[in-house]
Amino acid sequence: MTAAHPAKARVVVTRALFPSHIQRLAEHFEVKDNQADRALDREALARLLEHAEGAIITGGDRIDADSLSLASHLRVIASVSVGYNHIDVPACHARGIVVTNTPDVLTETTADFGFALMMAAARRICEGERWMREGHWQRWELDQMAGADIHHTTLGILGMGRIGQGIARRARGFDMKVIYHNRRAQAPEIERELNAAWVSFDDLFRRSDHLVVVLPYTPEAHHLIGARELALMKTTATLTNIARGGIIDEPALVAALASGQLAAAGLDVYEGEPKVLPELLALKSVALTPHIASASRPTRDAMANLAIDNVIAVLSGKPALTPLEPD
């Protein structure tokens, strides 16, 4: 008598991945994918998770008690993201569900993009590109699209984690002075390596010529940067956000830019994304990108493969590679 093969575990994928990722998953699991990339509301997401043992999600999928209401078999949720404010991690852990994210693999790509977006805002690159496409360029003028220098200026970094450190390393090539703020200062050897100095929260805003936000989103960080903080900044300064939109009070940012309190901003993330405040869209002094800081093909491939590695590990009875801890 031929022994029956054990049934494959069921894994769902909530958004389109590269075909190679689906093929890899299919080697191990029974896969229900969403390669059509259909939008899933809360009810549809709950139904998708109902019979799954593993789920691969993205930052656009809200996982909370409601979406887990039918998920009695679910053992692991792997998010193709570093941020995890879209996941109610305690609710998952209460159900015995392991939650993972994808740190490290996107650090350098995101640091590249953060530095590029800062430069685009400072040098008015997006504004100049739109102006030129609209047919306004007729001749050279001394003050035409004159922006701010990057070299020999002071770079402020709010959140000196992996990505913040990557941005600080890039600043060395521009002879920038680097200051930063964390709740705790980095070790002296890291500060020496980065040639960076810890300063108080308020001093970071006062002293930065270019301030980059790389802070993880938490409830305490919601609207951490508002009218008071923006008023501390130099009128020649720029503010770049590649962290999470909710960290900045966007109406306050609009007011600061419109009044000239702040020279320019670079934004890759938004509080209500994919919706963006119309007032932000109307401002010429803002460089806007659609949450693409990690969007190089090699990096997105690595992120998805790390999520798959986590699902394979947990459903094979092994520890997750990058688990989010209960605390």
Q: Which residues are catalytic?
A: 244, 273, 291
Interaxial angle between packed helices 107-122 and 125-133, expressed in degrees from 0 to 180 and rounded to the nearest 10: 60
- Of the candidates 258, 206, 148, the one whose C-alpha atom is nearest the C-alpha of residue 250 is 258
- Please tell me the distance from the alpha carbon of residue 160 to that of residue 215, in angstroms, as a whole number: 8
- CA dihedral sign, ordered 295, 297, 298, 301: positive
Give me 311's structure tokens.
Answer: 């699902």
- CA dihedral sign, ordered 138, 143, 146, 150: positive
Is the CB of residue 207 less than 8 Å from the CB of residue 179? yes
The helix (run of H) or strand (run of E) holding residue 231 is: helix 227-232
DSSP 255-300: HHHHHTSS-EEEES--TTTT---HHHHH-TTEEE--S-TT--HHHH
3-state DSSP assignment of residue 32: strand
Residue 308 pairs in a beta bridge with: none
- Distance, C-alpha 327 to centroid of its chain: 21
- Please tell me the distance from the alpha carbon of residue 229 to that of residue 261, in angstroms, as a whole number: 11
- Of the candidates 127, 60, 114, the one whose C-alpha atom is nearest the C-alpha of residue 268 is 114
- Please tell me the distance from the alpha carbon of residue 94 to that of residue 12, in angstroms, as a whole number: 21
Amino acid identity of residue 193, one-letter, is: E
Task: Give the number of other Cβ atoms within 10 Å of residue 82's Cβ.
Answer: 22
Give me 101's structure tokens.
Answer: 């994210």
